[in-house]
Structure 1
Amino acid sequence: MLWLLAAPARATHIVGGELDMQYQNGDNYRLTLTLYFDAINGSSGALDNDATAGIFERGTNRHIRNLTLPLTQNAFVPYTSVACTIGSLSTRKLTYSSFLNLPAGEFNSPNGYYVAVERCCRNGVISNIVAPGDAAQTYYLEFPAVVRNGQPLRNSTPRIFPPLSDYACVGELFYFDFGGQDADGDSLVYDMITPLNGHANTVDPRPTQPLSAPYSTVTWLGGLSQTNQMPGSPTLSVGRQSGRLTVRPTRQGLFVFGVRCSEYRRGVKIGETRRDFQLLVIACPRNQAPAMVVRPPGPGRTAYQPGRDTLHLLAGQNRCLSLSFTDPDPTSQLQLELRAVNFPQAMVPTPTIRQGTVRGPGVPDTITSTVCFPECFNSRGRVFLLDIIVADNGCSLPKRDTVRVAFTAQAPPNQPPTLALLSPPTRFPLSARVGDVVQLDLEGLDVDLDAVSLELTGRGFTPASVGAQLAVVSTAPGRTVARLTWRVDCRAVARGLHEFEVVAAANPCQERQTSTVLVIPVQVDYRNAAPVLTSSFPPAAADPAAPPVVVRLPLGGVYDATLAGRDADLDNLTLTAAGANFDLAAMGMSMRSTNGAGSAAGTFRWQATCDAVYRGPLDVTFTLVDATCAPVPQQRVVRFEVQPPVVPDFLPPNVFTPNADSLNDYFELTNLPPDFCASRFASVKIFSRWGNEVYRSTNRSFRWNGKGVSEGVYYYLVEYTDERKFRGTVTVLPR
């Protein structure tokens, strides 16, 4: 439930808290303030609806912007043990949060940035600083630029500090895990730090405009300092790498303290966050520690002596430890824990009893549990260390007794499996050709009757890549039969010798054992004779670099040729023809083939057309291909050209006598160049000496009789469709 109450001018309530910033996506982050509120000594009027965060550039302290963080959660912090709850300690966790946009064009300073939220006031009953009721807190966080060397730098601050809700007892060791996690995998380093006071005060407990650093710190009472923040022996400290708080308080009271978590990436500090918190120390009822006794396997054995004894757990013998634990205090609830010290925790077996109550009505004074190590548990000659811990339910924290057991453990002896061929060949390597099926049965045996599997690999290749497989035929305890099957195909030709490797494997006690590798060599024999291509085309030149043979036809002519292919290996043959960048049919060509095993035949026909003239020389490639793993195609290239017609000499007449004497009565051009595809007779025109057209015809067999014109010289123009022109004169003599 959110508390929406106006803050008074002054209210003592702050237990501590911290800032947190998590990357979301793009340029977006979420900024969160966690404020811990003293629900016993604090004023409820100090429950703010929101908080104002100021963002500044480090080094220059330049103010960039403010961000309002609305209250999103209000909840109590639970005790580690509910049974230890006391009326003088109750803490609320107030969460203020909002999205924050950090564009690269604005947040690119190599100095980095910091966020601060200021609020007054702390608890007036704090025991280790001067004037605690007048002291404020500055929540502080540093973060890097969002770009570095032109590349985005995404960073989330470490999420640290589980909330501390427990109290400590005078004279008793107190510990609490303040360690955290970093979403980016950055290294975290912890140290004690004096809490920040800042600019807020009793007159202005909640500044509307956040101010920049520097921020003043709280003032320690005499004899206390940053390294000695509360009376204790030892004093309060935090593990540099673990973040674990430890203190044995020597005086009652409420003590504020500060912890800093610095964030490093590749050895360079990129940010930090701080938390202030307070620890209540009270005088607690005396709690005596529980006691643990460990007895080795076997009847009548004396208690294990830590630091002196080493247990040896042998195969086939009793491997169970007897655990007896008790507590002098009445009605004590005990918890048993087994913690591996120098071997994986997952190997630790589960005890028969893990918890119970002693010294109460109807319950025993001592609990006995048993932990048995399975036969397969094996320390492999090493001495393993196991902490056997019993903890009570004392307040504020449980007391413990730990017995560290040193032991070795042996697994049962076990023989590796063996592997053999059933009906082995008389000699190796095996010989195979493409199309053959290689099939061999293999047997894996294990004298310990362990389950056996057979595994197939290849030297320098994978069996699956050539189509080989190993399939189980039958299984029984300690025996497996599998069949190697390989239908040899073209994938095997390039390598030739294939060496298959097979092993039998067993996994007793989860420890892999294998047989000696069995090598099965198979030599793939492959030979291929090139097919032979013959044809009725003119013989090709002996020099392969010579131009192809040329077949010439007049326009409209027809050329037929036959082709034949033979293959000594009786491979399937395919005979084809292909034009060099042209379609055969479009050039008047056709190819019909009959293909088959060991032979092929084809008939080629060409009818010379104008399309072939326009295209120019036509190169056709005739190919004979054998269908085999490594084919050797045979080719023949033939060039086809259309032979242009013979052009006679053009000797036009230059005079005629239109006098109807049947002698030279007409002007005609009988020896004009012949029509050839795109070059065809278009027209003839005759003009007078003054340029007047006197005759026109589109018939190449024209006859001009000179009718209607006077004697004299005339000019003629003959035009062809390809724009060729012939000019001349003709004289009309008197009739």
Structure 2
Amino acid sequence: MRKNLFTLTLLIFSSFYATASHIVGGELVFITLSNGSASHRIGLNLYFDELNGIPQAEDPGATLYIFRKSDNQRIGSVQAPKVGRKNITYANPQCGTSGLRTLLISYLVDVFLNPMDYSAPDGYYIVWDRCCRNSVIDNIKNPGDVGSLFSVFFPPLLKNGTRFIDSVPEFSEIQGDYACLNADYYLDFSASDADGDSLAYSLTTPVTGFSNRALPSPLAGGSSNYPVVSWTDGISLANVIPGSRPLRIDAQTGRLSFTASRLGLYVFSVTVTEYRSGQKIGSVSRDFQIKVIDCFEALPPKILAFENSRKENLGNNSVLRLSRTDSACFTIKVTDPNFNQLVKIKGRAVNSARRDFYFLPAEFRTQKSNDTLTFQFCLDACFETDDNRPVKIELIAEDESCPVPLTDTLTILIYREKAPNAAPVINSSLSSVYVDALPDQPLTFDVFGKDIDLDSIVLSASGRGFELTEYGFVFPPKSGRDTVSQKLSWKPPCTLNVADTIAVDFKLTDLRCEANSKSSVLTVYFIVQDAKNNAPRVRTTAQTDTITIQLDAINPLSILFEVIASDPDTAQLSLFGLGRGFSLAEAKMDFFNRIGSREITSTFSWTPDCSLLQGKSEMLFAVDFISEDKSCLAARDSSTVFLLIRDNLNDAALDLPNVITPNQDGKNDCFIGADLPTDNCIQRFEEVTIFNRWGTRVYLSRDRNFTWCPVDAPAGTYFYQVKYSINAYKGTISLLK
């Protein structure tokens, strides 16, 4: 198998310092990189005992070995150079006098791992094996003669032919505080995962590996069962740090807790395992030590406050109402039972983000037991409150007790009068605060602000529950005095995955003191299409899908029905009609394409005429009514109506009377055209002509409902001709008197 790692020669140290006991703990690092030629960052975080370890034991590099999990075969190794060195942090740095001083030494290297070479289904692991541990550990046997093996397990880099991306969890930066005997102790041992995988924490037995005092830095070997430390008598994984509450870890948060009943330095190991879709994919362990000491019994300070103008003692939760002319300073007196203690005064507003107050001075040191120290607590000019909402301030006296400072808190509630200030006015160029936002369609409008007090103002915007840049909104904050304006630009992305309506708050704030600052908010609601799109539907009110029309040249018939498009989404919905092979307009069909949302309706109407037959006896027209949404995942639906028009063909023979008797008896008095064949698109009545037997025309009519009543005409035989657009009918009439 081709190796894409480089293997460097192990560093060889002299026996004088190679066997030095210096390892407090550590963990390995395995991070996937997204840019550059390297694919992964691999390394070691080593916690080094600065007091008991000698400087020569600090290696300039760390050799890390990679093994395949299925058969423990070594795949390669990397040499990680030292890239960082610092003392680990303490919650209270002044307490670092308990025999604890620990260095964090970081070794990191960026490498390229070819996924084709790391595709074994069971995954891989990396180890670092080194002696020796801190020799003053109390809960394991022979601590200075055994080494530490740190490991990290990672999944295959290629699964089912696809690159599998994973970074193993990274532990948060540790704090090296000691614990006090018979006192509750807590420590954050949590980790973060760059891929958002689920994490589970557990206490595990520290691993020694194959290194020892005689072989402090061996060529690491693979194993499914590395050697672990031997606990001292009475110690097990259930009570790594013995006490009324032995060492425990919260499986979900990684928070360590215990109450120790025995002094000593205790080593332990925490393993964090990552899960994706319910499957374990990787893990990493961290070794570390906590020292339990018999702490000096310290007592907390006591704090009192007095209002300077009234010389009144302010009890806890005192309420003060101050005008603009009242004194803004208070005297704080702190008594600390312990001598030579540095006492600091801090304050925080519980229900306000502003810090409109200060202390003079901020700290004092006690000279004797129960020494009383005096401070000044003052409100600055911008400290103002609403009439019905005081600012709740906690005044905190804090000493330097170890490992955790002791405090006393005095709470006061303050009302302070403020100067009048009118809220600025904000509006926009929009006609409505509801805006249809079409995916991938640019949208712009202006937002305006004005302050009648002529204050400096700032105009800004924020999304409700999202960052504006996340969705591509462009609206830089704009400042000005008296008036200000800014343009919003937005091209809704097709990947938008939010609720149907998202809100953007445009905020105009004057820049007076925060407590008296006024703001106005204009909320604009953008109606967008969710990327998960429901297809629209279209239907008609036509009784049948095929409508047949018998054309009547005299009294034309009309077709009328509604077309309805609906979509449960709020995206823009279009409704339009298309003729198959013809234009609706050319066929004289009336149908208006419409745009809307939710549900839209348009009327189809048509009065066909003979010209549409183009000389044929019948014609079939197919009209597709289509509803289409305008989301990025555009969907459509269609409904087809077939319109069949036919000529009203009539092959009936001409049936006119051949005898008339114009004697006005109401029987056969006239020659009438009531029984003429009806007109159609091909054959239409044009005129009727009547001639006498000498060929003289005696009657002409172009009204198909003609009536010839020849009262004064002589009896005899007459001839008629009924002319149609194509045919002509002839016959005789006998006029009897």
Paired residues of 2:423 and 2:519 also in contact (CA < 8 A): no
Q: Is residue 6 of structure 1 aligned with residue 14 of structure 2?
A: yes
| TM-aligned CA deviation for residue 204 of structure 1 | 3.1
Choose which of 21, 25, 35 in structure 1 pairs with 2:30.
21
User: Residue 387 and residue 243 in structure 1: after superposition, are their counterparts in 2 closer, same or farther (change >3 A)?
Assistant: farther
Q: Per-residue deviation at 1:128?
A: 0.9
* Residue of 281, 287, 299 corresponding to 1:288: 299
User: Would the aligned equivalents of 1:339 and 1:388 in 2 still touch at CA under 8 Å?
Assistant: yes
Distance in 2, matches of 1:141 and 1:468, equals: 54
Q: Residue 250 of structure 1: which of 261, 274, 295 is its match?
A: 261
Q: Percent of aligned pairs with the same residue?
A: 28
Name the residue aligned to 1:259: 270
1:392 is aligned to 2:399? yes
Shift of 1:182: 4.2
Residues 326 and 21 of structure 1: CA distance in aligned 2, closer, same or farther (over 3 Å): farther
CA distance in 2 between counterparts of 1:200 and 1:504 reads: 64
Counterpart of 1:54 in structure 2: which amino acid?
Y
Shift of 1:90: 3.4
Structure 1 residue 118: deviation in Å?
A: 1.4
**Aligned partner (choices 129, 134, 145) of residue 134 of structure 1:** 145
1:208 shift after superposition = 1.0
Query: Partners in 1 of 2:371 and 2:294 — Cα distance?
Result: 30
Q: Residues of 2 paired with 1:454 and 1:147: CA distance?
A: 55
Would you say 1:335 and 2:358 are equivalent positions? no
Q: Tell me how far apart the structure 1 counterparts of residues 404 and 86 of structure 2 sit (CA, whole Å).
A: 26
Does the CA-based 8 Å contact 1:450-1:478 persist in structure 2? no
* 3-state DSSP of counterpart to 1:218: coil
SS in 1 for 2:144: helix
Indicate if the aligned counterparts of 2:263 and 2:292 stay in contact, CA closer than 8 A.
yes
1:123 Cα deviation after fit: 2.5
| CA distance 1:93–1:512, shift in 2 (3 Å) | closer
In 2, the alpha carbon distance for the partners of 1:27 and 1:468 equals 46
Letter in 2 for 1:458: S
Task: Report the Cα distance in structure 2 between the residues aligned to 1:255 and 1:151, rounded to whole angstroms.
Answer: 44
- Report the CA distance between 1:239 and its aligned residue: 5.0
**Which amino acid in structure 2 is aligned with residue 6 of structure 1?**
S
Q: Does 1:209 align with 2:220?
A: yes
Contact 2:361 2:375 in 1 (8 A): no
Q: How far 1:326 moved relative to its partner? A: 3.5
1:401 to 2:401 alignment: no
State the alpha-carbon separation in 2 of the partners of residues 85 and 75 from structure 1. 15
- The alignment's C-alpha RMSD in Å is 5.0
Q: How does 1:297-696 map to 2 (within 5 A)?
A: 299=310, 304-305=315-316, 324-338=333-347, 346-347=353-354, 349-353=356-360, 355-360=362-367, 365-370=372-377, 372=379, 388-395=395-402, 397-403=403-409, 405=411, 449-459=422-432, 509-510=516-517, 512-513=519-520
- 2:52 is aligned with what amino acid? N
Partner of 2:563: none
Contact 2:426/2:450, CA 8 A, preserved across alignment = no
Greater shift after overlay, 135-144 or 317-326? 317-326
Q: Would the aligned equivalents of 1:504 and 1:514 in 2 still touch at CA under 8 Å?
A: yes
Deviation by residue 1:373-431 (Cα, 9 ceiling, x = unmatched): 966656987x9987654322233x232225385969899799xxxxxxxxxxxxxxxxx
Change (3 A) 1:351 1:19: same
Deviations, residues 38-91 of structure 1 (Å, cap 9, x unaligned): 233335554444433222334554432222334445555566655444484333
How far, CA to CA, are the matches of 1:28 and 1:353 in structure 2? 55
Write the distance in 2 (CA, Å) between the matches of 1:201 and 1:151. Answer: 42
> Does the C-alpha gap of structure 1 residues 268 and 293 become closer, same or farther in structure 2, counting only changes over 3 Å?
farther
Judged with a 3 Å threshold, the aligned counterparts in structure 2 of structure 1 residues 97 and 456 are, in CA distance, closer, same or farther, namely closer
Q: Distance in 2 between matches of 1:17 and 1:227?
A: 22
* Mapped partners of 1:268, 1:348: distance in 2: 48
**1:180-199 Cα deviation digits (max 9, x unpaired):** 54444555544433212223
Partner of 1:457, secondary structure, is coil
* 1:30 correspondence with 2:36: no
Q: Does structure 1 conserve the Cα–Cα contact (< 8 Å) formed by 2:65 and 2:74?
A: yes
Q: Is the 8 A contact 2:391 2:414 kept in 1?
A: yes
- Determine the structure 1 residue equivalent to 2:125: 114
Amino acid at match of 2:404: P
| TM-score for the superposition, normalised by structure 2 | 0.51
State whether residues 121 and 135 of structure 1, in contact with CA within 8 Å, keep that contact through their aligned partners in structure 2: yes
- In structure 1, what residue type is equivalent to 2:336? D
Counterparts of 1:451 and 1:303 in 2: how far apart (Å)? Answer: 38
Amino acid aligned to 2:110: F
Per-residue CA deviations over 1:622-679 (Å, capped at 9, x if unaligned) read xxxxxxxxxxxxxxxxxxxxxxxxxxxxxxxxxxxxxxxxxxxxxxxxxxxxxxxxxx
Task: Please give the alpha-carbon distance, in whole angstroms, between the structure 2 residues aligned to 1:207 and 1:105.
Answer: 29
Aligned-pair distance for 1:466?
A: 12
CA contact (8 A) 2:449 2:508 kept: no
Whether the 8 Å contact between 1:192 and 1:258 is mirrored in structure 2 is: yes
1:149 and 1:315 map into 2 onto residues whose CA distance is 74
Distance in 1 (alpha carbons) for counterparts of 2:61 and 2:148: 16
Q: 1:514 to 1:262 in 2, by over 3 A?
A: closer
Partner deviation per Cα, 1:346-381 (whole Å, 9 max, x = no partner): 3455543573114239x9722435375966656987
Q: Give 5+ residue unaligned stretches, structure 2.
A: 1-10, 437-441, 457-480, 486-505, 525-737
CA drift of 1:320 comes to 8.4
Contact 1:470 1:482 (C-alpha < 8 Å) held by counterparts: no
The aligned counterpart of 2:234 is: 223
2:155 pairs with 1:144: yes
CA distance in 2, matches of 1:292, 1:279: 33
Q: Give the residue type in structure 1 aligned to 2:115.
A: A
**1:100 correspondence with 2:117:** no
Aligned to 1:540: none
Contact 2:329–2:376, Cα closer than 8 Å, also in 1: no
CA shift, 1:331, in A, is 2.6
Q: Label 1:11 to 1:413 Cα distance change in 2 as closer, same or farther (>3 A).
A: closer
Amino acid at match of 2:337: P
Distance 1:57 1:198 in 2: 17
Would you say the 8 A contact 2:302–2:397 is kept in 1? yes
The CA distance in 1 between the partners of 2:230 and 2:118, in whole Å, is 34
- CA shift at 1:483, angstroms? 14
Letter aligned with residue 211 of structure 2: A
Indicate conservation of the 8 Å contact 1:52/1:210, yes or no.
no
Quick check: 1:113–1:145 contact (8 Å CA) kept in 2?
yes
SS class of match (1:221): coil
- TM-superposed CA distance for 1:122, in Å, is 1.7
The CA distance in 1 between the partners of 2:334 and 2:277, in whole Å, is: 48
Give 1:14 shift: 1.7
TM-score scaled by length of structure 1: 0.51
Cα 1:379–1:253 shift into 2, 3 Å = farther
Larger Rg: 1
CA distance in 2, matches of 1:413, 1:150: 70
> Cα offset for 1:116?
1.3
8 A Cα contact 1:450 1:477, kept in partner: no
CA distance in 2, matches of 1:206, 1:219: 20
Cα-to-partner distance string for 1:570-600 (whole Å, 9 max, x where unaligned): xxxxxxxxxxxxxxxxxxxxxxxxxxxxxxx
**Counterpart AA for 2:429:** L
Shift of 1:19: 0.7
1:166 CA displacement: 4.0
1:455 is displaced (CA, Å) by 3.9
> Match of 2:645?
none
- Counterpart position of 1:156: 167
Give the Å deviation of 1:468. 9.8
